[in-house]
């Protein structure tokens, strides 16, 4: 999987290095082409140059194709991994279809991939129509430009990429619900994950039958969106550089939009660099947690965060098992969540340390940049293009690891689960 994404990044970088890819007709710097390609394939949205101003139409189309390929690739692979893990059968046996069992077959693989592609394209088409209408009727763009911007932002939002053809992202539409809400809806849909979306379609009115995955994803998504909206809005309510100059309704719309984008989308309708320390910290946390598993969102995933919360709750109550709804979560699943979370924290801390040494920016801004890159978010306080080549290289690696790492690690841990034939003597140690 890593090889395939790396190949896509290199191909994209080569295409973006062509003179025809830039508006000026000159070759882009290698670091700019590689950074943009990595950000597009990993559906992040961090940029070192202005997407709409620096790249030509050809360059923007290359970026759009890379976003689509990266988003579909991650969603497809993540969903197939989820099926493999849940069915507890080796990948080799499945792909060769050697055993006549009730597990995943090649026919099932084709069906899953077909449904993912169909769902993605239909969702993007619906959002593209809504945005085209908003741009054409509400902002007096020409029909051709409205269609182009509508399609670009629809693909970018559903795949949680955060690329925009506007130099100010979506700040010019901060009070326009006809633009902000379709984009937010696409981000949420893409970030929920394919398995959750289709389970909700089958049993939306029967929450008692939901799987542990769907129960945790839906509960945490709604909770984090609500908490993020309230926290960011209240923190920035009187800040004249962000929400202070807006009306009451527009403030809550902007706060909700900022909370949704922190799920790893990367668009912004307010100036991120002008946000206060409180809202930046809230955004850091939301970016690190990310969205749902087997979707286009990044981060450690709400399922990992939610599962650890259930583990803590069970420990506080003195219970020997962790239960979600009417299901008991195996201890191996709990260890996997802990491993993903701790390794992710270590990765962000190491990257922050390296970026601090490579730049003269404050810890607050550097940590925000590192969390954004690892969570494949794309939000920035404006320091991305100011970082030296080494710092930008760190972000490139961080985006790639953030996109591939948690999924690969979680799947590898799950598929390597094995039973030991012996147990060592038990000895407790002091904790805390």
| Per-residue pLDDT, 286 | 96
Angle at 112 between CA 109 and CA 116, to 5 degrees: 140
Residue 429 lies in a domain: no
The neighbouring-strand residues paired with 55 are 22
Long-range own/partner contacts, residues 14-19 (CB < 8 A, 24 or more apart): 15/62, 16/55, 16/59, 16/62, 16/63, 18/58
Residue 85 lies in a domain: yes
Tokens of 98: 């050697």
The bridge status of strand 322-324 relative to strand 327-329 is: antiparallel
| Per-residue pLDDT, 273 | 93
> Count of CB atoms within 10 A of residue 271's CB?
16
SS (H, E, C) 218-237: HHHHHHHHHHHHHHHHHHHC
Residue 161 lies in a domain: yes
Could you list the residue range(s) of the whole structural domain that residue 230 is in?
Answer: 2-93+104-415
Name the domain count of the chain: 1
pLDDT tens sequence for the chain (432 residues)? 677 788 889 999 999 999 999 999 999 999 999 999 999 999 999 999 999 999 999 999 999 999 998 888 766 665 555 555 555 434 443 443 333 223 344 556 667 777 888 888 999 999 999 999 999 999 989 999 999 999 999 999 999 999 999 999 999 999 999 999 999 999 999 988 888 888 888 888 888 888 888 899 999 999 999 999 999 999 999 999 999 999 989 999 999 999 999 988 889 999 999 999 999 999 999 999 998 887 788 899 999 999 999 999 998 988 888 888 778 888 878 888 888 899 899 999 999 999 999 888 999 999 999 999 999 999 999 999 999 999 999 999 999 888 877 656 555 555 555 666 777 787 777 777
Q: Could you give the C-alpha distances from 291 to 15, 42, 118, 309, in angstroms and in order?
A: 30, 15, 21, 16
Helix, strand or coil for residue 98? coil
Q: What is the pTM of this model?
A: 0.88
Q: Could you give the C-alpha distances from 415 to 64, 85, 89, 110, 288, in angstroms and in order?
A: 34, 6, 8, 22, 25
CB 298 within 8 A of CB 288: no
Residue 431 lies in a domain: no
Contacts of 385 (CB under 8 A, 6+ apart): 47, 48, 49
Q: For CA atoms 23, 29, 32, 35, give the dihedral sign.
A: positive
Residue 421 lies in a domain: no
| Per-residue pLDDT, 274 | 95
Report the Cα 43 to chain-centroid distance in Å.
7
The phi, psi pair for 55, rounded to 5°, reads -90, 150
| Per-residue pLDDT, 88 | 44
E-assigned strands of 206-282?
A: none
The size of the chain, in residues, is 432
Q: Could you give the C-alpha distances from 350 to 86, 148, 358, in angstroms and in order?
A: 33, 40, 13
Residue 210 lies in a domain: yes
Report the Cα 169 to chain-centroid distance in Å.
17
| Per-residue pLDDT, 213 | 86
- Alpha-carbon distance of 187 to 66, in angstroms, equals 17
| Per-residue pLDDT, 93 | 39
CB 74 within 8 A of CB 411: no
- Alpha-carbon distance of 404 to 337, in angstroms, equals 16
Residue 109 lies in a domain: yes
Q: Could you give the C-alpha distances from 319 to 324, 337, 426, 427, in angstroms and in order?
A: 13, 19, 19, 20
Q: Could you give the C-alpha distances from 114 to 3, 72, 103, 111, 189, in angstroms and in order?
A: 23, 11, 18, 5, 18
Residue 99 lies in a domain: no
Helix, strand or coil for residue 94? helix
Tokens of 332: 């191996």
| Per-residue pLDDT, 279 | 96
**Which region, left, alpha or beta, applies to residue 318 given φ > 0 means left and ψ of -120 to 50 means alpha?**
left
| Per-residue pLDDT, 335 | 84
Angle at 153 between CA 150 and CA 159, to 5 degrees: 135
């Amino acid at each position: 999987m890593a090889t395939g994404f790396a190949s896509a990044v290199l191909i994209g970088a080569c295409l973006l290095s062509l003179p025809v890819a830039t508006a000026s007709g000159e070759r882009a710097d290698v670091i700019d082409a590689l950074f943009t390609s990595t950000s597009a394939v990993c559906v992040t949205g961090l940029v070192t140059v202005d997407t709409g101003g620096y790249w030509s139409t050809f360059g923007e189309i290359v970026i759009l194709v890379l976003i689509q390929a990266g988003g579909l690739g991650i969603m497809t692979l993540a969903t197939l991994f989820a099926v493999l893990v849940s069915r507890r059968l080796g990948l080799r046996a499945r792909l060769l279809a050697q055993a006549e069992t009730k597990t995943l077959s090649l026919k099932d693989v084709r069906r899953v991939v077909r449904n993912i592609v169909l769902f993605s394209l239909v969702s993007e088409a619906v959002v593209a129509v809504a945005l085209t209408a908003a741009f054409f009727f509400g902002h007096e763009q020409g029909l051709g430009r409205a269609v182009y911007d509508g399609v670009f932002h629809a693909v970018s939002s559903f795949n949680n990429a955060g690329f925009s053809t506007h130099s100010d992202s979506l700040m010019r539409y901060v009070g326009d619900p006809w633009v902000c809400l379709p984009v937010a809806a696409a981000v949420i849909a893409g970030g929920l994950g394919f398995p959750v979306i289709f389970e909700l379609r089958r049993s939306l009115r029967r929450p008692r039958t939901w799987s542990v995955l769907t129960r945790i994803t839906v509960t945490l998504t709604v909770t984090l969106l609500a908490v993020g909206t309230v926290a960011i809005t209240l923190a920035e309510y009187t800040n004249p550089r962000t929400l202070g100059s807006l009306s009451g309704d527009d403030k809550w719309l902007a706060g909700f939009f900022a909370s949704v984008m922190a799920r790893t989308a990367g668009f912004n309708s307010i100036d991120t660099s002008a946000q206060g320390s409180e809202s930046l910290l809230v955004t850091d946390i939301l970016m690190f947690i990310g969205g749902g598993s087997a979707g286009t969102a990044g981060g450690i995933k709400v399922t990992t965060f939610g599962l650890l919360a259930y583990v803590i709750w069970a420990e506080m109550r003195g219970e020997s098992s962790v239960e979600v709804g009417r299901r008991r979560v195996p201890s191996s699943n709990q260890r996997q969540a802990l491993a993903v979370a701790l390794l992710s924290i270590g990765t962000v801390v190491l990257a922050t340390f390296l970026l601090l040494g490579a730049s003269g920016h404050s810890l607050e801004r550097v940590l925000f940049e590192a969390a954004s890159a690892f969570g494949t978010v794309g939000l920035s306080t404006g320091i991305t293009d100011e970082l030296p080549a080494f710092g930008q290289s760190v972000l490139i690696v961080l985006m790639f690891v953030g996109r591939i790492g948690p999924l690969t690690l979680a799947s590898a841990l799950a598929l390597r689960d094995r039973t030991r034939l012996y147990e060592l003597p038990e000895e407790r140690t002091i904790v805390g």
